[in-house]
Protein backbone atom coordinates (compact mmCIF):
# COMPACT_ATOMS: atom_id res chain seq x y z
CA UNK A 1 0.00 0.00 0.00
CA UNK A 2 2.56 2.64 1.09
CA UNK A 3 5.04 3.95 -1.49
CA UNK A 4 7.28 0.91 -1.33
CA UNK A 5 9.92 2.15 -3.80
CA UNK A 6 11.60 4.85 -1.81
CA UNK A 7 12.43 3.79 1.69
CA UNK A 8 16.06 4.50 2.50
CA UNK A 9 15.04 4.27 6.14
CA UNK A 10 17.87 2.33 7.58
CA UNK A 11 18.52 4.68 10.40
CA UNK A 12 14.90 5.30 11.22
CA UNK A 13 13.80 1.71 11.57
CA UNK A 14 13.82 1.87 15.34
CA UNK A 15 11.49 4.87 15.34
CA UNK A 16 9.26 3.15 12.84
CA UNK A 17 8.91 0.17 15.15
CA UNK A 18 8.33 2.41 18.13
CA UNK A 19 5.47 4.11 16.33
CA UNK A 20 3.97 0.77 15.37
CA UNK A 21 4.14 -0.47 18.94
CA UNK A 22 2.58 2.64 20.39
CA UNK A 23 -0.12 2.78 17.73
CA UNK A 24 -1.02 -0.82 18.44
CA UNK A 25 -1.58 -0.12 22.11
CA UNK A 26 -3.49 3.07 21.61
CA UNK A 27 -5.75 1.85 18.81
CA UNK A 28 -6.47 -1.38 20.64
CA UNK A 29 -7.48 0.33 23.82
CA UNK A 30 -9.24 3.42 22.45
CA UNK A 31 -10.65 2.39 19.09
CA UNK A 32 -10.21 4.21 15.82
CA UNK A 33 -12.14 7.39 16.49
CA UNK A 34 -11.10 7.42 20.14
CA UNK A 35 -7.45 7.48 19.19
CA UNK A 36 -5.47 10.67 19.14
CA UNK A 37 -2.39 11.05 17.01
CA UNK A 38 -0.64 13.29 19.54
CA UNK A 39 -0.84 10.48 22.06
CA UNK A 40 0.70 8.01 19.63
CA UNK A 41 3.51 10.45 18.96
CA UNK A 42 4.28 11.03 22.62
CA UNK A 43 3.92 7.35 23.54
CA UNK A 44 6.42 6.38 20.87
CA UNK A 45 8.85 9.10 21.95
CA UNK A 46 8.72 10.69 18.55
CA UNK A 47 7.48 13.96 17.18
CA UNK A 48 4.10 14.16 15.54
CA UNK A 49 5.71 15.16 12.27
CA UNK A 50 7.73 11.95 12.25
CA UNK A 51 4.59 9.92 12.63
CA UNK A 52 3.20 11.65 9.57
CA UNK A 53 6.42 11.12 7.65
CA UNK A 54 6.33 7.38 8.23
CA UNK A 55 2.59 6.90 7.81
CA UNK A 56 0.72 9.44 5.79
CA UNK A 57 -2.46 9.68 7.82
CA UNK A 58 -4.36 8.30 10.76
CA UNK A 59 -6.30 5.99 8.50
CA UNK A 60 -3.15 4.67 6.80
CA UNK A 61 -1.54 4.01 10.15
CA UNK A 62 -4.63 2.22 11.39
CA UNK A 63 -4.84 0.01 8.31
CA UNK A 64 -1.16 -0.83 8.56
CA UNK A 65 -1.38 -1.73 12.23
CA UNK A 66 -4.46 -3.86 11.97
CA UNK A 67 -3.32 -5.51 8.77
CA UNK A 68 0.01 -6.51 10.21
CA UNK A 69 -1.56 -7.77 13.42
CA UNK A 70 -3.95 -10.05 11.59
CA UNK A 71 -1.08 -11.40 9.52
CA UNK A 72 1.09 -12.07 12.55
CA UNK A 73 -1.74 -13.76 14.40
CA UNK A 74 -2.50 -16.02 11.45
CA UNK A 75 1.14 -16.98 11.16
CA UNK A 76 1.36 -17.88 14.81
CA UNK A 77 -1.56 -20.26 14.56
CA UNK A 78 -0.28 -21.75 11.34
CA UNK A 79 2.59 -23.94 12.33
CA UNK A 80 4.34 -27.24 11.70
CA UNK A 81 1.97 -29.88 12.88
CA UNK A 82 2.88 -33.52 13.41
CA UNK A 83 0.98 -36.15 11.47
CA UNK A 84 -1.07 -38.62 13.50
CA UNK A 85 1.13 -41.66 14.12
CA UNK A 86 -0.24 -45.14 13.45
CA UNK A 87 -0.64 -46.14 17.04
CA UNK A 88 -1.68 -42.70 18.32
CA UNK A 89 -5.02 -41.76 19.80
CA UNK A 90 -7.18 -39.68 17.50
CA UNK A 91 -8.92 -37.89 20.35
CA UNK A 92 -5.65 -36.88 21.97
CA UNK A 93 -4.35 -35.64 18.64
CA UNK A 94 -7.41 -33.48 18.05
CA UNK A 95 -7.35 -32.20 21.60
CA UNK A 96 -3.75 -31.10 21.37
CA UNK A 97 -4.47 -29.28 18.15
CA UNK A 98 -7.58 -27.56 19.49
CA UNK A 99 -6.00 -26.53 22.77
CA UNK A 100 -3.21 -24.82 20.92
CA UNK A 101 -5.55 -22.91 18.64
CA UNK A 102 -7.82 -21.87 21.47
CA UNK A 103 -4.98 -20.67 23.63
CA UNK A 104 -3.73 -18.37 20.90
CA UNK A 105 -7.12 -17.04 19.89
CA UNK A 106 -8.04 -16.15 23.45
CA UNK A 107 -4.96 -14.06 24.09
CA UNK A 108 -6.12 -10.66 25.31
CA UNK A 109 -4.43 -8.79 22.50
CA UNK A 110 -6.12 -10.87 19.83
CA UNK A 111 -9.49 -10.62 21.54
CA UNK A 112 -9.15 -6.87 21.61
CA UNK A 113 -8.15 -6.81 17.94
CA UNK A 114 -11.24 -8.79 17.13
CA UNK A 115 -13.46 -6.40 19.09
CA UNK A 116 -11.87 -3.43 17.40
CA UNK A 117 -12.30 -4.80 13.91
CA UNK A 118 -15.88 -5.89 14.53
CA UNK A 119 -16.73 -2.47 15.87
CA UNK A 120 -15.31 -0.87 12.74
CA UNK A 121 -17.00 -3.14 10.20
CA UNK A 122 -19.12 -0.21 9.09
CA UNK A 123 -16.15 2.08 8.51
CA UNK A 124 -13.60 -0.49 7.27
CA UNK A 125 -15.38 -3.54 5.91
CA UNK A 126 -12.29 -4.76 4.05
CA UNK A 127 -10.36 -5.00 7.27
CA UNK A 128 -12.88 -7.35 8.78
CA UNK A 129 -12.93 -9.51 5.68
CA UNK A 130 -9.17 -9.83 5.82
CA UNK A 131 -9.30 -10.72 9.50
CA UNK A 132 -11.90 -13.38 8.82
CA UNK A 133 -9.85 -14.88 6.01
CA UNK A 134 -6.60 -14.90 7.90
CA UNK A 135 -8.25 -16.02 11.12
CA UNK A 136 -11.19 -18.41 11.16
CA UNK A 137 -11.10 -19.19 7.45
CA UNK A 138 -7.44 -20.04 7.44
CA UNK A 139 -7.88 -22.24 10.49
CA UNK A 140 -10.79 -24.01 8.86
CA UNK A 141 -8.80 -24.58 5.68
CA UNK A 142 -6.00 -26.12 7.64
CA UNK A 143 -8.36 -28.37 9.56
CA UNK A 144 -9.93 -29.36 6.26
CA UNK A 145 -6.59 -30.58 4.94
CA UNK A 146 -5.99 -32.50 8.13
CA UNK A 147 -9.44 -34.07 7.99
CA UNK A 148 -8.94 -35.13 4.39
CA UNK A 149 -5.93 -37.16 5.40
CA UNK A 150 -7.73 -38.62 8.40
CA UNK A 151 -10.66 -39.58 6.25
CA UNK A 152 -8.43 -41.38 3.78
CA UNK A 153 -7.17 -43.44 6.66
CA UNK A 154 -10.71 -44.29 7.68
CA UNK A 155 -10.51 -42.37 10.93
CA UNK A 156 -13.24 -39.90 10.15
CA UNK A 157 -16.59 -40.43 8.50
CA UNK A 158 -17.71 -37.31 6.74
CA UNK A 159 -18.84 -36.57 3.21
CA UNK A 160 -17.48 -33.06 3.25
CA UNK A 161 -14.24 -32.46 5.16
CA UNK A 162 -14.58 -28.69 4.80
CA UNK A 163 -17.97 -28.72 6.48
CA UNK A 164 -16.69 -31.01 9.22
CA UNK A 165 -13.76 -28.66 9.72
CA UNK A 166 -16.08 -25.73 10.21
CA UNK A 167 -18.10 -27.63 12.80
CA UNK A 168 -14.96 -28.65 14.59
CA UNK A 169 -13.58 -25.15 14.59
CA UNK A 170 -16.67 -23.60 16.10
CA UNK A 171 -17.26 -26.39 18.58
CA UNK A 172 -13.87 -25.52 19.99
CA UNK A 173 -13.94 -21.75 19.66
CA UNK A 174 -17.50 -20.53 19.87
CA UNK A 175 -18.33 -20.56 23.55
CA UNK A 176 -15.06 -19.11 24.89
CA UNK A 177 -14.76 -16.60 22.10
CA UNK A 178 -18.28 -15.26 22.28
CA UNK A 179 -18.18 -15.04 26.05
CA UNK A 180 -14.89 -13.21 25.92
CA UNK A 181 -16.10 -10.80 23.25
CA UNK A 182 -18.79 -9.47 25.54
CA UNK A 183 -17.76 -10.34 29.07
CA UNK A 184 -14.19 -9.19 28.73
CA UNK A 185 -10.82 -10.86 28.99
CA UNK A 186 -11.52 -12.00 32.53
CA UNK A 187 -14.06 -14.46 31.12
CA UNK A 188 -11.37 -16.40 29.26
CA UNK A 189 -11.14 -19.94 30.66
CA UNK A 190 -8.07 -20.83 32.65
CA UNK A 191 -5.89 -23.74 31.61
CA UNK A 192 -7.97 -26.35 33.44
CA UNK A 193 -11.30 -25.16 32.07
CA UNK A 194 -9.78 -24.90 28.63
CA UNK A 195 -8.73 -28.55 28.66
CA UNK A 196 -12.12 -29.69 29.88
CA UNK A 197 -13.85 -27.60 27.28
CA UNK A 198 -11.70 -28.94 24.46
CA UNK A 199 -12.09 -32.53 25.66
CA UNK A 200 -15.86 -32.26 25.54
CA UNK A 201 -15.78 -30.50 22.17
CA UNK A 202 -13.71 -33.35 20.74
CA UNK A 203 -16.02 -35.92 22.28
CA UNK A 204 -19.02 -34.29 20.63
CA UNK A 205 -17.22 -33.99 17.33
CA UNK A 206 -16.19 -37.62 17.31
CA UNK A 207 -19.67 -38.76 18.29
CA UNK A 208 -20.89 -37.14 15.07
CA UNK A 209 -17.93 -37.63 12.75
CA UNK A 210 -15.88 -40.38 14.35
CA UNK A 211 -14.89 -43.66 12.73
CA UNK A 212 -18.09 -45.48 13.80
CA UNK A 213 -20.72 -45.60 11.05
CA UNK A 214 -23.04 -42.62 11.11
CA UNK A 215 -26.55 -43.03 12.32
Partner DNA sequence: GCCACACTAGACTGTCCAGTATGATGTCGT
Partner DNA sequence: ACGACATCATACTGGACAGTCTAGTGTGGC
Which residues sit at the interface with DNA, rule CB under 7 A? 8-9, 11-12, 15-16, 35-38, 45-50, 52-54, 57-59
Q: What is the DSSP string of 122-167?
A: TT-HHHHHHHHIIIIIHHHHHHHHHHHHHHHTTS---S-HHHHHHH
Shortest gap between Cβ of 171 and a copy of itself (angstroms)? 7
> Which span sits near a copy of itself by CB under 8 A: 53-61, 77-85, 117-125, 143-151?
117-125
| Dist. CA 118–CA 98, nearest whole Å | 24
Q: Which position among 60, 119, 162, 195 is part of the footprint of a copy of itself (CB under 8 A)? A: 119
- Residue 23's closest CA among 77, 69, 75, 71? 69
Give the contacts of 43 (CB within 8 A, at least 6 positions apart). 22, 25, 26
Please tell me whether residue 145 binds a copy of itself under the rule CB under 8 A. no
Mutual angle of helices 125-132 and 58-77, in 10-degree steps: 10
Smallest separation, CB 55 to DNA (Å): 9
The rounded distance, in Å, linking the Cα atoms of 202 and 85 is 18
Please give the span between the terminal C-alpha atoms of the chain, in angstroms, as a whole number.
Answer: 52
Name which of residues 55 to 84 contact a copy of itself (CB under 8 A). Answer: none
In whole angstroms, give the CA distance from residue 51 to residue 28. Answer: 18
Q: From the list 125, 149, 152, 193, which residue makes contact with a copy of itself (rule: CB under 8 A)?
A: 125
Q: Is 181 in the site for a copy of itself (CB under 8 A)?
A: yes
Comparing CB distances to a copy of itself, the nearer of 2 and 92 is 92
10 Å Cβ neighbour count for 133? 13
Q: Which does 129 bind (CB under 5 to 8 A by kind): a copy of itself, DNA, none?
A: a copy of itself
User: Could you list the residues that contact a copy of itself (CB under 8 A)?
Assistant: 29-31, 33-34, 112, 115-123, 125, 128-129, 131-132, 136, 163, 166-167, 170-171, 173-175, 177-179, 181-184, 200, 203-209, 212, 214-215
Amino acid sequence: MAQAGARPWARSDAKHQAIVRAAREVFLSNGYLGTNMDLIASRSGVSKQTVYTHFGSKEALFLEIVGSMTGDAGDRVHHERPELGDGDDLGAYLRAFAERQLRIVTEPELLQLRRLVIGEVGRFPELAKVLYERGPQRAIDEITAMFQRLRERGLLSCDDPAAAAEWFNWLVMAAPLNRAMMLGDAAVPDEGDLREHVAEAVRIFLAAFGPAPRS
